[in-house]
Structure 1
Amino acid sequence: MPPAPRILIVGPSWVGDMVMAQSLFLALKQRHPHCAIDVLAPAWTLPLLQRMPEVARGVAMPLGHGQFGFGARRQLGLELRGRYDWAIVLPNSWKSALTPFFAKIPKRTGYVGELRYGLLNDARKLDKAKLPKTVQRFVALGLEPDAALPPECPVPRLRVPAEGVAAVRAKFNVPLPGGEGTEKVLALCPGAEYGPAKRWPAAYFAKLARNKMAQGWSVWLFGSGKDQAVAEEIAAAAPGCVGFAGRTDLAEAVDLLSLADAAVSNDSGLMHVAAALEKPLVAIYGSSDPGFTPPLNAQARIVRLGLECSPCFKRDCPLGHTRCLTDISPEQVSAQLDALLPPAP
């Protein structure tokens, strides 16, 4: 029996893509139960990897998003020599394949991408017709080149440590939802890093929040520091919301989200986190395509109008109206959310 492979995954930089990459990690563990999986990724994603039991170690990439850093990538590769048998490069950029090349990892798998034939020795051509979803493209790289496509994709499942939950409860002074005398919690994720064409209007989130609070729910607002302004706008229009946007790091956001009873989110990284936490989820799509990056959760409901002009995949609406989002009413989203939840006693 061949020894269990030591695998280095060059991971993506986006939160949602990293969540979807867990399907690859799970698939590798199914095929090679004793393999060791390390993931090379931006330092801020490491807490997310710590919530994936399949990952042995996260290796911090010493460069920011978009930085080329040839020398740093080469130096890291030299430091990693002799540690791995197989590298799988998920990003399609030329620079992302440099570190495994300089590490002299014997098998280096990835899509051809930016003409990476010299850097990858297991370069695959991407068949977008057979692999329409990002998660399928990731998982396929863990299979043999002649494997039947599309592959079966294990569903991401984040595991939140009890000590993490206890820490965020103490830090932010929140009770454990679902306990006696406490309210159910609706998590709202109104941000989207990519741009305005993926963001449902703040006023609509606020109306949804007011309706749920009137039903006795607590509403928590999540997001990064970049989402703090929109979260504050929602909180001002829906007094009583608890704002966590800009107040948490990624690990704290994951642990707090694990306490929610349901979530409503734009197509964003936190949407994929909520899905991987197995939360009843309503995902709102505007300029993006749920056929490409859907929430990987059987409980998720997708709200999308499917206008002739969408998906355009633009950061800003090229027609200037963003009807793909503004024509989705709070009542539509509320109805989808109610359909996911058990009936009130």
Structure 2
Amino acid sequence: MNSPAGRPIRPRILVLAPNWLGDAVMTSRSLDVLDAALGGDFAIHLAVNRAWLDLYRDDPRLEGIIPVERPGRHDGIGGLFRLGRDLSRHGFGAVLIGPPSLRAAMIGRLAGIPVRVGYRTDGRGSLLTHGLAFPGRGASHFSEQMVVLAATLAGALGRALPEGESSGRRSPLLPGCLGVPCDPGPGPAVWAFGPGATYGAAKTWPLEQAAAFIEAAVMKRGVRLVLLGDAAAGRHSPALARTSGVPWSKTWGPEPGVVDLLGRTTLPEAVGVLRRCEAYVGNDSGLMHLAGALGVATVGIFGSSDPRWTSPLGPWTSALAAEGFPCRPCFRKTCNQDVFCLETVTAAVVLAEVESLIRRRAEGSEAP
């Protein structure tokens, strides 16, 4: 069968992306694997939360991208069936189900997709045609766990991975990511700092250490430090400004100081800012993953989460975690211990790690 343009109509496969920003970024490596194994003969489509569409809008690996409206028309029980109907119209032959939830597997079943690949989590094994045992959080990197699903889907379609493509480690990680150009104007180098973490306080670097890092970056390194994050992260601004004692503004200027953009950027605007940054420091969060994937020298700070599972990807990235705490990684939203592990991760250690990554990038050597 041929398309109106005279090209053969290729069978369609779907990748249902995870819901969180960071997980959506880490999905990119699985697309590399699918593109290597299936590209050219199969049309790869991605269903992703509308908020993250711009990560993949111009991605050359994708034939199409489908917005998932959550919040919106795909919320709730009714939304579950609506999304299933929406996807069923595309005639997908196979789906990689990224989210680990029962709901996500139900979507694939409701869409009538015959080959459904995913991990057997949340009691959903019977809804998968190719269900894999979940190796566990931190048993391998999240991106590698997604790559395993991609390889399984390719195998289910009778395709083997080309030699050297087993890890999906192509570069850049986000070849179709759209950003709004940012012009910080003349002045010293720009670094970015993300003080928030949507998941909870147990993933958030404490105020004293964060303020000390801000002071060191501005006063010792002489950089312009832009704060990035959503509106919820903006609650940190007053205390950070008061404790750090450095020049603080909401607009770009030519002198060292903080440029506070918390809650004031869209995703494409944040991408544009990050592309002008020499370095990024932040908690284990979506912005951390985005910065690393864009090639920024990125230091992720890990409290309750596990860097073996969700460390930032990219050529110049590093993950710092507290040592000597048998309770971590606990994956809790709030700490229930007498001493919070992230209180022991000092500004000096983080600053030294940033400087090391910047040197490595200047030398052309990737982080270990």
TM-score, normalised relative to structure 2: 0.81
CA pair 83-185 structure 1, distance change in 2 beyond 3 A:
same
1:244 aligns with 2:276: no
CA drift of 1:261 comes to 0.6
CA offset digits 1:280-339 (Å, max 9, x no partner): 1111111111111111123212222222221111111111431x1111111111111111
Match of 2:167 among 132, 152, 164: 152
* Alignment-derived partner of residue 28 in structure 1: 34
Structure 1 residue identity aligned to 2:146: F
Q: Structure 2 stretches of 5 or more lacking a match?
A: 1-7, 248-256, 363-368
Q: Percent identity?
A: 31
C-alpha deviation, 1:20, in angstroms:
0.5
Q: 2:317 aligns with which of 300, 303, 323?
A: 300
CA contact (8 A) 1:109 1:141 kept: yes
Give the match for residue 229 of structure 1: 235
Measure how far apart 1:52 and its partner are. 4.1
Please point out which of 309, 315, 319 is paired with 2:337.
319
**295-304 vs 271-280, which moves further:** 295-304
Task: Return the letter of the residue paired with 1:85.
Answer: G
Q: Name the stretch that deviates more: 211-220 or 20-29.
A: 211-220
Q: CA deviation at 1:219?
A: 0.6
Distance 1:131-1:327 versus aligned 2 partners, 3 A rule: closer
Alpha-carbon deviation of 1:227? Answer: 0.2
Q: 2:250 corresponds to which residue?
A: none
1:127 maps to what in 2? 135
Describe the SS at the equivalent of 2:127: coil
Work out whether 1:91 is the aligned partner of 2:99: yes
Cα RMSD between the aligned structures?
2.8
Q: Give the Cα separation in 1 of the matches to 2:43 and 2:342.
A: 43
Q: Larger deviation: 83-92 or 218-227?
A: 83-92
- How far off is 1:194 after superposition? 0.9
Matched, 1:190 2:195: yes
197, 205, 218: which one pairs with 1:213? 218
Aligned 1:171-186 pairs, distance under 5 A: 174-175=184-185, 181-186=186-191
- The Cα offsets for residues 114-143 of structure 1, whole Å up to 9 and x where unpaired, read as 232442222222234995221111111111
Consecutive unaligned residues of structure 1, counting only runs of 5 or more, are: 176-180
Call closer, same or farther: CA 1:26–1:74 in 2, change over 3 Å: same
Match of 1:200 in 2: 205
Partner Cα distance (1:75, 1:207) in 2: 49
Q: Tell me the distance in 1 between the aligned counterparts of 2:149 and 2:201.
A: 32
Of 65, 70, 87, 1:58 maps to 65
Amino acid at match of 2:114: P
Distance 2:320 2:283 in 1: 10
Using a 3 Å threshold, how does the CA distance of structure 1 residues 30 and 310 change in structure 2: closer, same or farther? Answer: same
The yes-or-no answer on 1:267 pairing with 2:272 is: no
Mapped pair 1:143 → 2:151: yes
Which residue of 21, 29, 32 maps to 1:15?
Answer: 21
Contact 1:160/1:255, CA 8 A, preserved across alignment = no
Q: TM-score, normalised by structure 1?
A: 0.86
Q: What SS does the aligned partner of 1:12 have?
A: coil
Report the equivalent of 1:42.
49
Shift of 1:186: 0.8
AA at the equivalent of 1:262: A
Count residues with an aligned counterpart.
Answer: 329
